[in-house]
Amino acid sequence: MQRRDFLKMAAAAVPAGLVTSSTAVYAVAVEPTWIQVWSHRLAIPRLPAALSGLSVVQLSDIHRSDIVSGPFVREAVERVLALQPELVVLTGDFISGDTDCFRLVADELALLAQVAPVFASMGNHDYDHWYRPVAPRLPHGAQLLGEEFARVGIELLVDRGRVVAPRGDAGELEVLGLDDFWHRGFDPTAAFRSLPGTGDAGRARIVLGHNPDAYTAIQDQRFELALFGHTHGGQISLPLFGAPYVPCEDPRFMSGLVDTGRHLVYTNRGLGYNRRVRFGVRPEITHFTLLPA
């Protein structure tokens, strides 16, 4: 190769290299902690008029660990408090691996329980469970997490429902927490049976899950809104190409809001991460304003 040709090639490669390295820096150093608040106004059948405008905030997939830090979780909590939530829901994957993080994340979320009722559901990482047919490495994860959450006023719902009155006597709705879809104990029938007055004239019902593939197991049940996480929206989403990998079999539920015709289903893109990289899928806080349908 002539020296002149080499210099031309090198001159062309420098901008390409700059773009590549800037993108990598952005994906590792900027986007993983650049929180985005998604706001949705949802019309909910059976929601009492007295609960019109109810402010509900969802966090999911915090994955507290040595790479998802306490200050980052506390920043997210401050952002949630600024939304003046009347109900907070947390949809699984609170830790990645280290069970000491159950205590840490409970302490970091404790402020939320001082301003609103807070309910949580289990994620596969809370059982240290990566794949359905394999036994979880942390089978007592629900007990450990439930105890830490109870200590700070957060209620973990494992295939169990609760009647909630977020504005005192003004009106009620139901919150139902599913066990993780991959856990052997997953029993949605028991979860729905735990609620009184399950007829069509009953209260508006919000399901908290983790893996949106659980929708197949509950789609014949009566509820108005199901909230999931788990997918992280793929964590990397490339322009024109989308997310190369999303851990969810039903492509409808990769991220965001879906109206299935019978139910509203929302998949949160997650706050934390297992590997510190995000591109095109910023950490999410979801703010729902519920209105009577």
**Residues at the site binding Fe ion, with contacts judged by CB under 5 A:** 61, 93
CB of 64 or CB of 205, closer to Fe ion: 64
Q: Residue 271 class from Cβ within 10 Å (0-12 exposed, 13-18 middle, 19+ buried)?
A: buried
In a 13 Å sphere around the CA of 267, the CA atoms on its Cβ side amount to: 24
In the complex, least distance from residue 60 CB atom to Fe ion, rounded to whole angstroms: 7
CB of 108 or CB of 224, closer to Fe ion: 108
DSSP 223: -
d(CA 92, CA 2): 59
Torsion of Cα atoms, 131 then 137 then 141 then 144, to 10°: -160
Who's near 134: CB < 8 A, 6+ residues apart?
A: none
Assess contact for 53 and 289: CB atoms under 8 A. yes
Helix axes 100-113, 70-82, angle to 10 degrees: 20
Assess contact for 212 and 256: CB atoms under 8 A. no
In the complex, least distance from residue 105 CB atom to Fe ion, rounded to whole angstroms: 13
HEC string of 238-255 equals ECCCECCCCCCCCHHHCC
CB of 42 or CB of 156, closer to Fe ion: 156
Q: Cβ–Cβ contacts within 10 Å for residue 289, how many?
A: 14
CB of 225 or CB of 246, closer to Fe ion: 246
In the complex, least distance from residue 268 CB atom to Fe ion, rounded to whole angstroms: 10
Q: Residue 153 class from Cβ within 10 Å (0-12 exposed, 13-18 middle, 19+ buried)?
A: middle
In the complex, least distance from residue 76 CB atom to Fe ion, rounded to whole angstroms: 15
In the complex, least distance from residue 40 CB atom to Fe ion, rounded to whole angstroms: 21
CB of 210 or CB of 263, closer to Fe ion: 210
d(CA 157, CA 175): 9
In the complex, least distance from residue 249 CB atom to Fe ion, rounded to whole angstroms: 16
Residue 55 in 3-state DSSP? strand
CB of 93 or CB of 180, closer to Fe ion: 93
CB of 146 or CB of 272, closer to Fe ion: 272
CB of 6 or CB of 34, closer to Fe ion: 34
In the complex, least distance from residue 123 CB atom to Fe ion, rounded to whole angstroms: 6
Q: Cβ–Cβ contacts within 10 Å for residue 175, how many?
A: 26
In the complex, least distance from residue 90 CB atom to Fe ion, rounded to whole angstroms: 12
Rg for the chain (alpha carbons), in Å?
Answer: 21
